[in-house]
Amino acid sequence: MTQAYDAKRGLAGKFLVYISYHASLGVCLRFPHELGCLIQWRYRVLVKIRTLRDPPKADASKDSQAKKPAPLDFADLSLSRSRAVHAALIDAQETLIDQRLFSLFRECVSRELMLDATPRWHVQCMSPSEVAFILSSGTTLQPVKVTVSYSPLQPSAKEGGDVWDWLSKWAEVHLRELFLKAPAPLPKQKRRSQAEKADADAAASAAMPNLFANFVSWAEPQCEAVARYMEASRSGDAKQE
């Protein structure tokens, strides 16, 4: 049996998957309950970037599918059992990586808020599964809303999106790159005194990569460039009319 999952303590030393053999089905996977729900619903870090002027259009068909996770890419009866099991493990790995990524991102946001280190980024809301910001431009450009969430992966839209949708997907990829390139956390030591534990916690906090600050330094110029492009496009369309 596994202990209750604690995001702050991480997954080290915990059982992540049970592998068994079924006489009819072959090799089977079973995930602990506290992780199985996230894996079954394919939780991922999702980023949405839009200006306040251009909120995403409501789509009734999407709302009706809001509770349906994206279909598994390996749900193909033609796959061999071994390939299907491997694909399931890779998919579960992505869910757990993004879970830790979002947890670290929220920790960095809280730390930056106390230091007031990002004055242009105003937190609109912060919950266990979502952090939303309003990025003030300081110019005539419209403010930009940036939402980072850890939620079920939704089926991709068949039609192509606009440049904000493209930037949102790029932001997801870049955020994962920042996380995966970060140094590994310091190993924990047992039997430490309170003073040693406090020093170790301070060292671990100092060594922890500032995922939010790194994301902000990348996202600000990208958002401003896209906002200027959209404003220029609207101006050009208005002149043609």
Structure confidence at residue 113 (pLDDT) = 81
State phi, psi for 29 to the nearest 5 degrees: -115, 140
pTM, to two decimals: 0.77
* Distance from C-alpha of 34 to C-alpha of 63, rounded to nearest angstrom: 27
User: Quick one: DSSP state of residue 156?
Assistant: P
Structure confidence at residue 60 (pLDDT) = 40
* Distance from C-alpha of 167 to C-alpha of 155, rounded to nearest angstrom: 18
Structure confidence at residue 178 (pLDDT) = 94
* Distance from C-alpha of 23 to C-alpha of 139, rounded to nearest angstrom: 67
Q: Which two tokens stand for residue 132?
A: 């939303």
* Distance from C-alpha of 49 to C-alpha of 132, rounded to nearest angstrom: 10
User: Quick one: DSSP state of residue 226?
Assistant: H
Structure confidence at residue 211 (pLDDT) = 92
Structure confidence at residue 228 (pLDDT) = 87
Structure confidence at residue 69 (pLDDT) = 64
Residue type, 196: E
* Distance from C-alpha of 55 to C-alpha of 144, rounded to nearest angstrom: 10
* Distance from C-alpha of 35 to C-alpha of 96, rounded to nearest angstrom: 8
* Distance from C-alpha of 12 to C-alpha of 120, rounded to nearest angstrom: 36
Structure confidence at residue 175 (pLDDT) = 96
Q: Which two tokens stand for residue 5?
A: 């999952």
Provide long-range contacts, Cβ within 8 A and 24+ apart, for 10-18.
10/100, 10/185, 11/96, 11/100, 16/92, 16/96, 17/89, 17/92
* Distance from C-alpha of 180 to C-alpha of 187, rounded to nearest angstrom: 17
Structure confidence at residue 4 (pLDDT) = 39
- Residue 36 is inside which H or E element, if any? helix 33-40
Structure confidence at residue 132 (pLDDT) = 96
List, for the chain, all residue ranges whose pLDDT scores fall below the cut of 70.
1-14, 54-77, 138-140, 156-160, 184-208, 236-241
